[in-house]
Amino acid sequence: MSDEEFEGEFECEICRSTYDDELKCQNCNCDMCQNCKVSNKFIYSHHLGVRGYNVCSICASLIDSLEDYIKSEHIGWCKITPRGLKWFTLSGCEQWAHFQQINIFHYDSGVLGEEDVEIINKDVETGRTDPSTFSWQIKETLLRVKSSSFKEDIKRVLRAYCIRNSQIGYCQGMNIVTVWLLLFFDHNTAFLMLCYLVEKLLLPDFYIGAKHGNSLNGFYVESTVIASVIEFLMPTIASSDIPTGEFSNFFSLQHLIQLFVSTVDMESTVFLWDKMCEDGSIGLIRGIASLILISERAVIKKMHPIQILKSLNENRLAPQLKETYTAIVPHVTTVRVSRLRQLAKDIRAKQWMQCESLVVKKLEHVSNFSKQEIEELQTKFNRLLKDLRSGRPNEKVSRRRSTIQLPQHLQTKLDDYQGSHTIGISKPEFLKLLSEIAPSLLERGEEIFNKFDEDASGYLDFRELTIAMSVLSKGSFEDKMRICFDAYDTDHSGYLELSEINSLIEKMLLPVAESIQSNPDSEDLRKEILNIHLKMSQLCDKFSGKVFFDDFVAGIKSDMLLYNVISDYISSDSQVSKVFNAINLGTFVGDDSTRTPGCRLCELF
């Protein structure tokens, strides 16, 4: 048959019948016949505008389903919905927020760091949170419900969170999650949920950026756990061309950073958020494991994980996802996941102990130490851990072999280590160091330890210790004041109230107060202290009882006596040699020479 005989004939991609006139769906651009066409269906896409278009029956069905779903869920923009209230209560955020007594209005007057301002504006103003960046269902939902204040609403929530938690600040993925929250919550509740997710529900360093040289550490920990779970649940993954750990990194990154928003269909996302709020962060592990199990055929065919991700995003998975998630719950337990997370943290910590130029370069960039100082500190740190380890008995944690193990190539990396204490220093060991380096801060030593233990592993690895020692010995006045500020911010609100300020000031002025006690004639000095407290009280009143860090430092610098006293208190002189001298076994071993030599562990402290 000649080519001319085929002119004017088209095959409908819906029903596979042939027809004469060219007809395409104005949404998906597929070929369709007159029988499969639906006329004047309203589409909200940017490139089409908002009006009726001719679409195929499949697109018409999807649009109808989406509109029904939006209506049934009462989804809007920047208003509380029934689903949002369920998440708020089920997750524990409601109770936590009531206890914390925080509100987004507390942070509207706070000052945001320039770096965070720049990146938030970049992500929001340049279109990285526009509806067009999301998957089709969320995009169409946003275009139906968003208001004229769309971008300002997103920036307000993100700014408030970054002011509250400057240690984490703004990280990629927060913008996507914030848009999702604003579909179900108003400003304040969206802000509270974002705080609760980052600070309580997820791993403590889940969203930590590159500020401390450990970008996305929480993601890599969770990805390692997922790799371990998948090797147990789906042994066929071993046949993949990509090692399980790398497969998990490729597959999990977008799901984890965006918390499933725009990575699966909308109904599946809502289901996974239900489970995340109900089960906690283990819901992320179970959710991603379920998605990989659903894709087992594609894995066996050795399809690349990014291709699998794309395929999943284009399908409606909710019924199958719910069934698979329920089936794996008995296998992916809290105890198992907690153990795997600790092992993954140990692996990440061990990487900072290696004498690699990349590690030194990263630490040189994020600390105040020079290359030579970092290398010397690394040598002393490794020698210290070796000596401490040699004095500890090699106790077996459990006689019972765990069902789910780390992938073999990762487990091998830990073979010569016997647990977390051999990879970092514990809290008591850090407090001993602190007593040598900055004894005035020892009273708040536990809070300082927790601040630098970013992954809440229970120990400081080499990176964490380097940053801590860097600030304590070579930090600027502002750096050291930040340590004090955070240590006295007992509720982690991001600001100090008058009672917290008074506690901090009184501690710092203690040497002056003792001087007055020993010299009753020091009336002028007594008046100065009273004047300082009055100024701090006025500072609190000025900012409605909530003083943020920048305002606090400015208030201190405005009083010469207070500035000088605090400078002495935080020991602003460089003391690198003191740090190096303190990090040796002698710092940790008792000096009672009359005792009978024995277990080194028994001699500590």
Question: Tokens in use for 433?
Answer: 């160091």
pLDDT at position 590 is 53
Label the pairing between strands 18-19 and 547-548.
Answer: unpaired
Distance of CA 186 to the CA centre of its chain: 22
Task: Report pLDDT for 392.
Answer: 55
Note the pLDDT tens digit of each residue in 278-328: 999 999 999 999 999 999 999 988 899 999 998 888 888 999 999 999 999
Q: Can you give the pLDDT at residue 210?
A: 65
| Amino acid identity at 294 | I
Q: 230-242, pLDDT tens digit by residue?
A: 999 998 888 788 8
- Contact assessment for residue 369 and residue 341, using Cβ atoms and an 8 Å cutoff: no
Strands 37-43 and 51-56: antiparallel
Q: What pLDDT, on a 0 to 100 scale, did the predictor assign at position 571?
A: 65
Query: Does 254 or 523 have the greater pLDDT score?
Result: 254
Beta strands in 16-98 (DSSP E): 18-19, 37-43, 51-56
d(CA 186, CA 190): 6
**What is the pLDDT, as a whole number, of residue 78?**
95
The DSSP bridge partners found for residue 53 are 41
Is 70 exceeded by the pLDDT of residue 413?
A: no
Domains of the chain (ranges; CATH) run: 3-68 (3.30.40), 82-201 (1.10.8), 217-332 (1.10.472), 361-392+405-581 (1.10.238.10)
pLDDT (0 to 100) of residue 530: 80
Half-sphere exposure of 145 (CA within 13 A, CB side): 23
Angle at 216 between CA 212 and CA 221, to 5 degrees: 115
With the C-alpha atoms ordered 289, 294, 296, 301, is the resulting torsion angle positive or negative?
negative
Burial of 416 (0-12, 13-18, 19+ CB in 10 A): exposed
Tell me the pLDDT band of 167, cut-offs 50, 70 and 90.
confident
- pLDDT value at position 537? 84
**pLDDT score for 294:** 95
Q: Taking 90 as the threshold, does the pLDDT of residue 574 lie above it?
A: no
pLDDT, tens digit, 9 for 90 and up, residues 33-54: 989 999 888 877 666 567 788 8
459: part of which helix (H) or strand (E)?
Answer: strand 459-460
What is the predicted pLDDT for the residue at 354? 67
* Dihedral over Cα of 96, 102, 107, 113: its sign: negative
Whether 352 has a pLDDT exceeding 90, the answer reads no
Say what the pLDDT of residue 408 is.
Answer: 73
Q: Which two tokens stand for residue 324?
A: 């698979």
> Between residues 581 and 57, which one has the greater pLDDT?
57
* Distance from C-alpha of 401 to C-alpha of 405, rounded to nearest angstrom: 9
How far is residue 397's CA from residue 381's CA, in Å, rounded to a whole number?
Answer: 25
Whether pLDDT at 501 is above 60: yes
Give, as one character, the DSSP assignment of residue 235. G
Bridge partner residues of 51 (DSSP): 43
**Pick from 197, 190, 507, 462: nearest CA to 353:** 462
Categorize the per-residue pLDDT at 247 as very low, low, confident or very high, splitting at 50, 70 and 90.
very high
Other Cβ atoms within 10 Å of 81 Cβ, number: 16
Bridge partners, 425 (sequence order): 460
pLDDT tens per residue, range 502-524:
888 888 777 777 666 666 666 77
Question: Can you give the pLDDT at residue 581?
Answer: 78
With 60 as the cut, is the pLDDT of residue 355 above it?
no
- Encode pLDDT of 324-349 as tens digits: 999 999 999 999 999 999 989 988 88
Angle value at C-alpha 151, between 85 and 81, nearest 5 degrees: 15
| Residue 531 or 392, more confident | 531
Check the CA dihedral 94-99-105-111 and report its sign.
Answer: negative
Terminal-to-terminal C-alpha distance of the chain = 94
Please state at what angle helix 549-557 crosses helix 560-569, rounded to 10 degrees: 110
CB 366 within 8 Å of CB 211: yes
Top-ranked range on mean pLDDT: pick from 169-173, 209-213, 410-414: 169-173
| Partners of residue 459 on adjacent β-strands | 426
Residue 584 has pLDDT above 80, yes or no: no
Is the CA virtual torsion 595, 599, 600, 603 positive or negative?
A: negative
Q: Which of 169, 178, 86 is closest to 134 using CA atoms?
A: 178
Q: What is the pLDDT of residue 134?
A: 93
Q: Is the confidence at residue 554, as pLDDT, over 80?
A: yes
Burial class of residue 567, CB neighbours in 10 A (0-12, 13-18, 19+): middle
Classify 179 as helix, strand or coil: helix
Distance between CA 82 and CA 558 in Å, rounded?
Answer: 50
More confident residue, 138 or 590: 138
Average pLDDT, the chain: 84
Report d(CA 227, CA 347) in Å as an integer: 14
Instruction: Give 29's pLDDT tier (boundaries 50, 70, 90).
Output: confident
The larger pLDDT score, comparing residue 376 to residue 252, is at: 252
Mean pLDDT of all residues in 197-213: 84
Most confident of 296-305, 397-406, 497-506: 296-305
Contact 339, 332 (CB under 8 A): no
> Looking at the predicted structure, is the pLDDT value of residue 601 above 50?
no
Which two tokens mark 2? Answer: 């000649």
- 344-366: average pLDDT: 80
What is the CB neighbour count within 10 angstroms for residue 13?
17
Q: Give residue-wise pLDDT tens across range 75-126.
A: 999 999 999 999 999 999 999 999 888 899 999 888 888 888 989 999 998 8
Q: Is the pLDDT of residue 350 over 80?
A: yes
Separation between Cα atoms, residue 2 and residue 285, nearest integer Å: 58
- Going by C-alpha positions, the residue among 467, 359, 465, 350 that lies closest to residue 419 is 350
Q: Where in 355-492 does DSSP place strands (E)?
A: 425-426, 459-460
The rounded percent of the chain whose pLDDT value lies above 90 is: 34
What pLDDT is stored for residue 272 in this prediction? 97
